[in-house]
Each structure stands twice: as C-alpha cells, then as structure tokens.
Amino acid sequence: MLFSLIVGMLQVDPSGRPTINDVIDRLQEIAAARDIELKSSLQIKVPEQEPNLESMNHVQSRRSPPSVYRDPEYEADSNPYQSHSMSQPQQQSVPTLGGMFNSLKGSAVGLFKNVKDASSRVMETVSATMNKGDLDFSYITSRLGVMSYPAEGVESAVKNHIDDVRAFLDCRHQNSFAVYNLSGRSYRASKFQNRVSECGWPSGRAPSLANLFSICKNMHLWLRQNPKNICVVHCTDGKSNSATAVGAFLCFCRLFDNGSSAIQMFTARRTNPGISASQKRYIEYICDMVAEIPLLPHNRALMLIKIAMAPVPCFNKMKNGCRPFLEVYVGCNRVLSTSQEYERMRGFTIQEGVASISLNTLVTGDTTIVAYHARSTFGGKVQGKVTEVCVCVCVCVRGERERERERVILGK
C-alpha cells in the first residue's frame, strides 16, 4: 500500500496525484493495519546481543599493530623467575576486546539516534506542509472567486504560489476561467494562458467610476458566454480592492440593491475586507447606475468652495488639534494644493469644532481630496520643507444626487 501511494505522489501530471486528504486517509489505513499510533512519539529499540569473542579475537588479531619479536627462550634464560604460563597475554586481551565492543555499541546507538532525529525532522516538515492548508481561495458564488496575489519566490511563502494557482484552476476550471488583477502589480500572464485583465488601482483608494463599471461589464459578458465560465478576482491580499470589485459586480447583476448587503456577503464567504468609505461610495454609485430609475453622473463642472472637517482631527504633538492643508486631484492629475510655509498655515484646535479650508476650484469627473497635517521638524525648518502626515482621503464623483445640493456631507 505504501509503495502504491509513493508511486501515485510521484506522478508527472499534477491532476493524477492524490490529494492531501487521500494521502492522510491512506496513511491512516496503513497505520491501522500495522497497529501504529501516528500521534505517538517515535520509539526505536536497540537489540542487545552478547559479543562473539571468537570473532572479536579474530578482528583484534587482524587489526592489532605489529609488535617487536621476542624470543621466549632468551627471556626465560635472562629472567629465571618469570613464569611461562599463558595467563598474562589473555589478561591483556580482555580489556581491548571490551573497549572495542563498547565502541561498536556506541556507534550503533549513535546511528539509530541519527535515524530517529532525521525521522523527526521529516515528520515536522510534512506536518508543516500539511498545516499550511489549501490555497487562499474563496468562492463568493459558484462562478465568482477571490484569492490573494499569485506570487513567486520568497513572497510565495505567505501568499499563493502562482504554479499552485495555475494547477488549481486547470484542474477545476480548465479553459473556463478569467483572472482580474486589481493589485496594480504585474506578473507573467502566460501562467494563466493569457487570461489576465490588468485593471488595478492603489490599495485602499477607490477606482475611477469608468474603470469599475468596465470591470463589472467585462465580468458579466464573460459569464454570459458559457455557463461553466468563472471569474477570479485578486488584489494584493484579496480584501479591500477585491471586495470593491466584487461588491460592485453583485450590485451590477442586481443581486443586491445596496453596497452594504454586498459587502456583508463578501465578509460571510471570505473575511472582513476593511474597505474605505470612498470604496463603499463607489459601490453605491454602481447601484444607482443600474437601478430601475438610474441615477447617472452628469458632465457639468462643480465648484469646490471649501472643505470643513468636523470635529478637528488631533494630529499635533499636544493631541489637541492639527495644522491641515489639502491636495485636490482630478483623475491622476493634481489641480490644487493649499500647502504653504509652515508659519503661514493656520492651526486648528478641538475647541474650535471645525477646521475649514477654502478651495474655490472647479472639478469634473472622479475627484480625490487628500487632507494632510503639516508637521515641523528641525531639518524641515533648515531646508524650508514641511513634513506631511496623511489625515484622510476622500474620493467622489459628480452624480445626480448632488445636482441640486449646495453641501455634500461625506462620513467615514
């Protein structure tokens, strides 16, 4: 049984190898048949045998070093008081034989000890490999999967190895999978038969509305081509960015009418993604666009008059306020920055309740507002630079809901 198991594990084709569950079952059957407790410690008994004195004498005679020849008659004549008995040579050979036996016995014990240590190390390695578990792959639905980044090299120790992912997809969804890379990093698409769509964005940020809608539309078209097709989504860790795309797609297919329910399903099937408020907002944008009465984004420019943060963030050394400045981006282009010299930027305290900064700038499309706290250091004062600490990031898009509003409140 053990021989057939080893032959099966050495198959060239990965699909022909037994799974880890099959291996464990076979090992348990072998252990039960031989009355072996797998969880008990390894015990090796060294058989104790009496030494064969004749063979030991033969070995000693063959390996004894050459000695100087002595004439017994000459020694007897020169020393008449010496006895001619053979008892003295026998007394000299006994300690030599005992020492050799002890040496051989010690070598045997050391050999078995090394075998025991090597076996323990092998068992620990197998146990560690088994405890690593399966791939970091979760099925949100039967046709929608999420996984972590398919890595290579050292990074594959904590993430999915790209070859393992390829073998998994080829085994379960051969020629019927499409991979959507949301990490912003690239790898060899040939590993997945060039079925990889590069559509990533920075982690923790919201994607552009056009990019998110395009991902949902592409995934929907792929699933409609064949009932066996499956979409596999991944980012760096299979959390925030993946949850944004999956939540938006579930709303795009009208499985849910709000983003909170879609994120709850992602959490139940995989883990808490920890998405940002901006990412939740973009999922809601997709819900509005596919609703029965759609709310589509308009093309008119909006005037950002000022930004008010309430309560005042506590980022200074005294933890009672901050000295904020803002940067405004439209798409990937920065259109405004309120950063100045440190002394010229106003500080706000908790007692004031609100920190307001005037902008008076026009924006269109996906708008990102990043709030920083200006921190002064000795090197910064000498070089005339300010150290910045990110307070918050807000991403929004001009929509039908904000058409008639003069104030838009964005929470956490």
Q: Quick one: pLDDT at residue 46?
A: 58
Residue 53: count of CB within 10 angstroms of its CB: 13
CATH topology of domain 137-289: Protein-Tyrosine Phosphatase; Chain A (3.90.190)
Q: Is 40 exposed, middle or buried (0-12, 13-18, 19+ CB in 10 A)?
A: exposed
Beta strands in 166-281 (DSSP E): 177-181, 196-198, 230-234
> Is 318 in a helix, a strand, or coil?
coil
Catalytic residue (one of 216, 231, 235, 396): 235
Q: Quick one: pLDDT at residue 387?
A: 86
CA–CA gap between residue 150 and residue 131 (Å, rounded): 20
Inter-axis angle of helices 53-63 and 87-131, nearest 10: 100
**Domain boundaries in the chain?**
1-33+123-133, 137-289, 302-402
Q: Quick one: pLDDT at residue 52?
A: 53
Q: Which helix (H) or strand (E) holds 184?
A: none
**What contacts 30, CB < 8 A, 6 or more positions away?**
1, 2, 5, 36
**CB-based contact 366:281 (threshold 8 Å):** no
CA–CA gap between residue 317 and residue 249 (Å, rounded): 44
Q: Quick one: pLDDT at residue 134?
A: 76
Active site residue 235: yes
pLDDT by residue, tens only, the chain of 412 residues? 677 778 777 877 777 788 887 888 778 778 777 777 777 776 666 555 555 545 555 444 444 444 444 545 444 444 444 444 444 444 444 445 556 556 655 665 565 566 556 655 554 444 344 344 578 999 999 999 999 999 988 888 889 999 999 999 999 999 999 999 999 999 999 999 999 999 999 888 899 999 999 999 999 999 999 999 999 999 999 999 999 999 999 999 999 999 999 999 999 999 999 999 999 999 999 999 999 999 888 778 888 999 999 999 999 988 999 999 999 999 889 999 999 888 889 999 999 999 999 999 999 888 999 999 998 776 555 455 778 899 988 888 765 455 556 677 666 5
**What contacts 243, CB < 8 A, 6 or more positions away?**
263, 266, 273, 275, 279
User: What pTM does this model have?
Assistant: 0.64
251, amino acid identity: C
- According to DSSP, the β-strands at 355-363 and 177-181 are unpaired
CATH topology of domain 302-402: Immunoglobulin-like (2.60.40)
Q: Which helix (H) or strand (E) holds 213?
A: helix 209-225
Q: Quick one: pLDDT at residue 326?
A: 95
